[in-house]
Amino acid sequence: MIFTIFLPVLGGIICLILRERRRLCAGVALFATIINGSFLPFNLFEEFGMNLGNWGELGIRLTMDDLAIPFMLSTFLVMLAITLNSLRKNYDGFFYSLILIMYGTLNSIFLSRDLFNVFVTVELVSIISFILISYEKKGRQAWASLKYLLLSSLGLNFFLLGIGLVYMETGSFAMEGLNHVSSIASVLIFGGLAVKSGLFLFSMWLPDAHSNAPVEVSPILSGLVVKIDVYLSIRFVQYESFGWLKDEFVYIGIFSAIAGIILAVNSKDAKRLLAYSTISQVGFMMVTCDKASSWHGFSHAVFKTLLFLVVGNVSTRLGTKEYRDWSGRITRIEYLFLLVGSLAISGFPMTSGCVTKEVIMHDACCPWLKVLMMLSSVGTAMIFSKFIFLKPSKETGSLPIGTLAAYSILSVAIIVHGIVGFEIYMFESLLMIAAGVGLYFLYRKFMRPLPVFFERIDNSLAIYLIMFLFSIGFVIFST
């Protein structure tokens, strides 16, 4: 099990050293990813738990359990797709080394049961993503990186303060200690990580970073880096001191789901639209915050990667990010994969999106919540009608072999997951899609990009602090 951490990191270090030899590094990256993936079926279901170096309480504990399975699977699929897609491009060895080290580090986050180790690994992932976002050295990318860096570092310092309080109260950094810590420590831990979560108002750096990043990087950010906080929140809710978090997520999550949709519907830029849709989907996941949401995290990572890759490749080929200009110019094969991704995210039966989304909606606690969740589902269908009703050109078109393989692996994952998990009651999602399509045709004349008030750096910082205060207030009034 521990090889899933050490093997990619070793590959990354080799790429770091041999970074001038591009092809070799790409080969190492592909090889390490595939080896890791082929061990995954044996690893995922074994019982695993070890204290590194036999140090017991003093050391770092790694454990595998059910919650980590979807995240580790999605990490493998996303990394494989990205490596395949990047093969024909001109990335140097450093890019592959960053990707591989990120792969190992993400696996480490999903296994670790030590708060300080989580801090270090999360910071490493953040540093890698800062470098990756501005990999093409455009001014806009550097600005997005800097904004992300300032906000995320501030948030992680709050997290560090929180685990300092945990250490003072329990005498160790182990996660078991979270069963009885004071509420202020728990709220600092939640609030510090929330800046990376992608929830609306907590992390308004997200649209800029996700939409300006290079083609291969946006899927990593949206599929994996955002999922770190989803995973850790689901993990923390299991502990007693975080009982309040589940109640708070009902409000924050559904608010974020709706707000993300309102922003995305009005957006013209395809990548920006996907970034806003990430905000909405993360909110949707967080509403229940249990095992079902971790599986929605898996399916979201897969179809969002597919969408980001297709949209990124198409927009670099055509030279425009505005989806309306693609009409008639996008080839049939690209349209096919865009259609698969769009249908999956809107919850069409027999796709992964439908399965996980319906399970989450089924678990909703009260009627008003269910209505709002249906509304957000309708909204998602409305957003992605924009892609579904694009007009493909007459020619079939051809794709490079790596890109085709990446798209196909992701599509197969979507469809297999959709068929395996299908239940008959899930046909109700067809109704929601129909409603979304209808609303899209009614509303399409009035779509105007909304102002980016909250995305300015000062405002996003201030609103983050205010939402932090809101969380503290929530804890105080709920206990």
Partner 1 sequence: MTGNIIFYISVAGMLVGTIGMTLSRNIIKKILSLGIVETSINTLYTGISSRKSIIPPIVNGDFSIAYADPVPQAVIITGIVISFALLCLSLVFAIIIYNKYHTMDIGTIESNFEREKE
Partner 2 sequence: MKAMKILGVIAAAVIFLFVVLQARIDLVFPEGLEEIIERTNIPNAVTAIYLETRLYDTIFEVIVFSITALGVTTLFSSLPRSAEGSQQVFGSVTVYSGGLAALSVTLFLYVVLEGHISPGGGFVGGVVLATGIVTYGLTSNFAKANSHYDRFKIKIMENASLLIIFSLVSFIVFFPETHARLLASGEFGEVLSGGLIPVLNILIGIKVYAGAWKMSSEFINRRGTL
Residue 171 binds partner 2 (CB under 8 A): yes
Give the CA radius of gyration of the chain: 21
The footprint of partner 1 on residues 47-76 (CB under 8 A) is 58
Residues 146-165, interacting with partner 2 (CB under 8 A):
161, 165
The entry of partner 1, partner 2, none near residue 139 (CB within 5 to 8 angstroms by kind) is partner 1
Structure tokens at 128: 């890698």
Q: Which of 127, 409, 435, 472 contacts partner 1 by CB under 8 A?
A: 127
Compare residues 41 and 451 and give the one whose CB is closer to partner 1. 451
Q: Is residue 242 within a helix (H) or strand (E), and if so which, with residue range?
A: none
Task: For residue 8, give Cα distances in angstroms to 36, 102, 225, 262.
Answer: 8, 8, 17, 39
- Residue 457 makes contact with partner 1 by CB under 8 A: yes
Tell me if 293 sits within 8 A of 230, measured CB to CB.
Answer: yes
Supply the DSSP string of 8-60, one letter for each residue: HHHHHHHHHHTTT-HHHHHHHHHHHHHHHHHHHHHHHTS-EEEEGGG-GGGS-
Among 371, 412, 465, 469, binds partner 1 (CB under 8 A): 465
Per CB under 8 A, the list member of 42, 46, 53, 477 interacting with partner 2 is 53
In angstroms, rounded to a whole number, what is the distance separating the alpha carbons of residues 49 and 164?
A: 25
Q: Which of 157, 273, 266, 254 is nearest to 206 (CA)?
A: 273
Residue 184 as a binder of partner 1 (CB under 8 A): the answer is: no
What single string gives the DSSP state of each residue in 273-338?
A: HHHHHHHHHHHHHHHH-SHHHHHHHHHHHHHHHHHHHHHHHHHHHHS--BGGGGTTTS-HHHHHHH
Q: Which of 128, 204, 234, 354 binds partner 2 (CB under 8 A)?
A: 128
> What is the C-alpha separation between 399 and 417, in angstroms, rounded?
25
As measured in angstroms, the least distance from the Cβ of 160 to partner 1 is 5
Among partner 1, partner 2, none, what binds residue 184 when CB lies within 5 to 8 Å by partner kind? Answer: partner 2
User: Per CB under 8 A, does 457 bind partner 2?
Assistant: no
Instruction: Rule CB under 8 A: choose which of 2, 10, 50, 150 binds partner 1.
Output: 150
- Binding residue for partner 1 (CB under 8 A) from 142, 374, 409, 415? 142
The tokens for 400 are: 């490079």
Dihedral sign of CA atoms 475, 235, 297, 460 in order: positive
| Residue 189 to residues 28, 119, 161, Cα–Cα distance (Å) | 37, 10, 8
Of 188, 279, 309, 437, the one binding partner 2 by CB under 8 A: 188
Binding residues for partner 1, per CB under 8 A? 58, 116, 119-120, 123, 127, 130-131, 134, 137, 139-140, 142-143, 145-146, 149-150, 153-154, 157, 160-161, 164, 167-168, 173, 452, 456-458, 461-462, 465
Binding residues for partner 2, per CB under 8 A? 2, 6, 9-10, 12-14, 16-17, 19, 52-55, 57-60, 94, 98, 101, 105, 108, 116-117, 120-121, 123-124, 127-128, 130-131, 134, 137, 161, 165, 168-172, 182-184, 188, 458-459, 461-463, 465-466, 468-469, 472
